[in-house]
Amino acid sequence: MSHQLLLSLLLLAPVLGFFINGFNFSSTKAIAVGTLGTLCSFISFICSLGLVLKLGGLPEDQRRLTVEFFNWLQVADLKIGFSFIVDQISAVMILIITGIGTLIHLFSVGYMSHDLRPAKYFAYLNLFLFNMLLLVLSDNLLLMFVGWEGVGLCSYLLIGFWFSDPAKASAGMKAFITNRIGDVGFLIGMFILFFQFGTLNFVEILSRLPAVAELGWTGPITLSCLALFIGATGKSAQIPLYVWLPDAMAGPTPVSALIHAATMVTAGVYMIVRLSGLFVLAPNVMMLIAVVGAATALFAALIGLTQWDIKKVLAYSTVSQLGYMFLAVGVGAFGGAMFHLMTHAFFKALMFLGSGSVIHAMHEEQDIRKMGGLAKKLPMTHATFLVGWLAIIGFPFLSGFFSKDEILWSVYASPNGHPLLWFIGVCGAGCTAFYMTRLMALTFWGKSRVPKEIHPHESPLVMTFPLIILAFFALTIGWVGVPHILASVLPGHIPNVFEHWLEPVVPKLSFIGKSSLLEWALMGISVSVAGLCAWLAFDFYIVHKERPKSFVLKMGKLYQFVSHKFYVDEFYKQRILDPLIEGSTALWAYVDVNFIDRLTYFIADFTVSAGAGLKSIQNGQTQQYALYILLGLVTTITWILVG
């Protein structure tokens, strides 16, 4: 098949699924609509496999498939095509989106089997898939923005899927509005880029870049990168706009796995990698990205230490891991960021689906204080979750180990990096190991604290099968990006396939003058810190169960501060939302009521009284009409005679 046909099918399959399930929205046959949704997603997956194979068959320096469907917009200099590009970056993305997407669709068939509106759910999920593909495949910023908004819409619809609960509906709105703030940044960035380069096409922008980097904060490239980065912080949940992601856990759990862990939230990272040639020309923004990423990584991990909701822990973990990706991007390790994006997509989707399986088994109970000892009741979920846990804490030779280690090494050794950033990263990794072990210990290990009326049972095969596949990849996917230093000692000289694949499209970092001894040492430190923290958590929650309590008592206020999420939500409410509401109230009470309302009332009153005045002329009295005729006649004749 030609690549045009493959790409059309790739995009159209989810749209078709959306329309069929969407028109059939009242259907309650979960199996039927779920199968249809999964099938559409699977067709997309096959197509993206075909596209990637085609791409791999091309010579290395020509790996780019472009498809131009039609000319979408043409206004003066602005020319936007409805056209798509498959290159090394989008190839990775479409495989993740459609591959993990299919597994999550499959999982949803089991998870949503008792839901009242499964057709609507699968329609939204397919629509999301289409928009996400639009986002990663488009060859210009505007079409990307269409997908960017589309995934935001689907995220809103799916977070508030159970909208009859006001808390869930408002979580959806919070996500949407927070994203809108970022979107303004994205739009401004787009305007500046168009103003500067006269085009929004990625290839054209990257070919018109100046040769030297831009210093200072006020240059057009720096400003556009800054604005785009604000857009990325909204979509990818970074400080200061991360607040929506933990609340987004109100949605169905597979949605959290697909949208809020594996795909949509990585859109910001993808966008920056896509424009990497532009971002490297703005070193100040790169520094800012690295700092924000590192801060988010540690900050979210700290909050994760104190959460009791299984999904909230995973949500903060996602925010933290996204922080690592931005940290990597900020120091120029674009390949490392993409690598972590991929491994994270697998192990975090795995853990979210695992938590979905747990929640399903526990009859919608999400509090880990009421779990414990579930390993015996849910052996398959436990086994796969264990793999995810090992991967995220960076257990050697699992996927998370390779990607996280590559990021930390780049942060230390890159010319844009800094040992302090590395230190923050390692602290974050330690926290990650602690809270994930805590999650494992409280959920699966130790004594059961499950209430007597709940009898947890293992999920059906339709739910465990995706878990097994994802666990397999969480175990092995890291081997596509084995760092050189490990490859040199491991038998068989495994090549770094991933880095080699991305090499032609992302700027490469040079580690000249950095000794391999240092790399070994840093790797050792990060692994041992993670191991130590994991052991500490195990000790806290399994061996000496009284310790956390005394520890919390000792920390007192600090613990309160962290467990209330550093009071960020309260701060936003007090400093931003309340003044905004007060200001709007004042505008309404003074300007609107006194000025605008009065003006409209005046106009309305004038019209009414003028009408009343004129109405008295037309009163139906024949003689008065005759008088008017006479007056008119006299006036006309006078006019003629005088004039």
Partner 1 sequence: MQNIEAIGIGQNHYLILSAIIFSIGIMGVLFRKNIIMMLMSLELMLNAINLTFIAFGYFNGNLNGQIMVFFVMTLAAAEAAIGLAIAVMIYRKFNEVNIRYFEQMKG
Which of residues 26 and 621 has its CB atom nearest to partner 1 in the complex? Answer: 621
Helices (H), 160-247: 166-197, 202-207, 220-235, 244-247
Which of residues 26 and 622 has its CB atom nearest to partner 1 in the complex? Answer: 622
Which of residues 490 and 631 has its CB atom nearest to partner 1 in the complex? Answer: 631
Q: What does the block give as tokens for 514? A: 């950095």
Least gap, CB of 622 to partner 1 (angstroms): 5
Residues 6 or more apart whose CB falls under 8 angstroms from that of 415 comprise 332, 509, 510
Q: What does the block give as tokens for 141? A: 């910023």
Least gap, CB of 608 to partner 1 (angstroms): 23
**Per CB under 8 A, does 627 bind partner 1?**
yes
CA dist., res. 25 & res. 16, Å (int): 14
Least gap, CB of 631 to partner 1 (angstroms): 11
Least gap, CB of 24 to partner 1 (angstroms): 54
**Per CB under 8 A, does 555 bind partner 1?**
no
Residues 6 or more apart whose CB falls under 8 angstroms from that of 57 comprise none
What's the residue count for the chain? Answer: 643
Which of residues 580 and 629 has its CB atom nearest to partner 1 in the complex? Answer: 629
CA dist., res. 507 & res. 273, Å (int): 9
Give the DSSP per-residue string, 361-427.
HTTS--BGGG---HHHH-HHHHHHHHHHHHHHTT-TTSHHHHHHHHHHHHHHHSTT--HHHHHHHHH
Of the listed pieces 344-352, 387-395, 404-412, 624-632, which binds partner 1 according to CB under 8 A?
A: 624-632
Least gap, CB of 624 to partner 1 (angstroms): 9
Of the listed pieces 396-404, 514-522, 552-560, 623-631, which binds partner 1 according to CB under 8 A?
A: 623-631
Q: What does the block give as tokens for 480? A: 């596509």
Give the DSSP per-residue string, 50-110.
HHHHHHHHS-GGG--EEEEEEEEEEETTEEEEEEEEE-HHHHHHHHHHHHHHHHHHHHHHH
Segment 360-419, which members bind partner 1 (CB under 8 A)? Answer: none
CA atoms within 13 Å, Cβ hemisphere of 77: 8
Give the 3-state DSSP-derived string for 556-606, with helices as H, strands as E and coil as C. CHHHHHHHCHHHHHHHHHHHHHHHHHHHHHHHHHHHHHHHHHHHHHHHHHH
Least gap, CB of 612 to partner 1 (angstroms): 19
CA dist., res. 158 & res. 520, Å (int): 44
Least gap, CB of 187 to partner 1 (angstroms): 59
Decide: helix, strand or coil at residue 36.
helix
Which of residues 610 and 634 has its CB atom nearest to partner 1 in the complex? Answer: 634
Tell me which of 497, 576, 630, 637 binds partner 1, using CB under 8 A: 630
Find tokens 């890159």 and name the residue: 414
Find tokens 């030297």 and name the residue: 212
Taking CA atoms, 204 is separated from 140, 223, 232, 502, 507, in Å, by 9, 19, 22, 20, 17
Q: Binding-site residue total for partner 1 (CB under 8 A)? A: 8
Least gap, CB of 634 to partner 1 (angstroms): 10
Least gap, CB of 588 to partner 1 (angstroms): 47
CA dist., res. 463 & res. 38, Å (int): 13
Least gap, CB of 165 to partner 1 (angstroms): 59
Per-residue contact string for residues 593-622; x = within reach of partner 1 by CB under 8 A: --------------------------xxxx
Bridge partner residues of 438 (DSSP) = none
Contact indicator for 317, 348 with CB cutoff of 8 Å:
yes
Which of residues 587 and 630 has its CB atom nearest to partner 1 in the complex? Answer: 630
Least gap, CB of 173 to partner 1 (angstroms): 55
Which of residues 607 and 618 has its CB atom nearest to partner 1 in the complex? Answer: 618
Query: Other CB atoms closer than 10 Å to residue 354's CB: what's the count?
Result: 33
Which of residues 53 and 627 has its CB atom nearest to partner 1 in the complex? Answer: 627
Which of residues 553 and 641 has its CB atom nearest to partner 1 in the complex? Answer: 641
Which of residues 558 and 627 has its CB atom nearest to partner 1 in the complex? Answer: 627
First-to-last alpha carbon distance for the chain, in angstroms, is 87
Tell me which of 62, 164, 616, 623 binds partner 1, using CB under 8 A: 623
Per-residue contact string for residues 58-77; x = within reach of partner 1 by CB under 8 A: --------------------
Find tokens 């799916």 and name the residue: 158
Least gap, CB of 623 to partner 1 (angstroms): 6
Tell me which of 167, 518, 577, 626 binds partner 1, using CB under 8 A: 626
CA dist., res. 220 & res. 65, Å (int): 30
CA dist., res. 64 & res. 439, Å (int): 43
Which of residues 513 and 620 has its CB atom nearest to partner 1 in the complex? Answer: 620
Least gap, CB of 642 to partner 1 (angstroms): 19
Which of residues 616 and 622 has its CB atom nearest to partner 1 in the complex? Answer: 622
Least gap, CB of 627 to partner 1 (angstroms): 6
Which of residues 71 and 624 has its CB atom nearest to partner 1 in the complex? Answer: 624
Give the DSSP per-residue string, 490-525.
STT----HHHHHHTTTSPPP--TT--HHHHHHHHHH
Which of residues 5 and 627 has its CB atom nearest to partner 1 in the complex? Answer: 627
Taking CA atoms, 272 is separated from 231, 324, 557, in Å, by 10, 14, 39
Which positions touch partner 1 (CB under 8 A)?
619-623, 626-627, 630
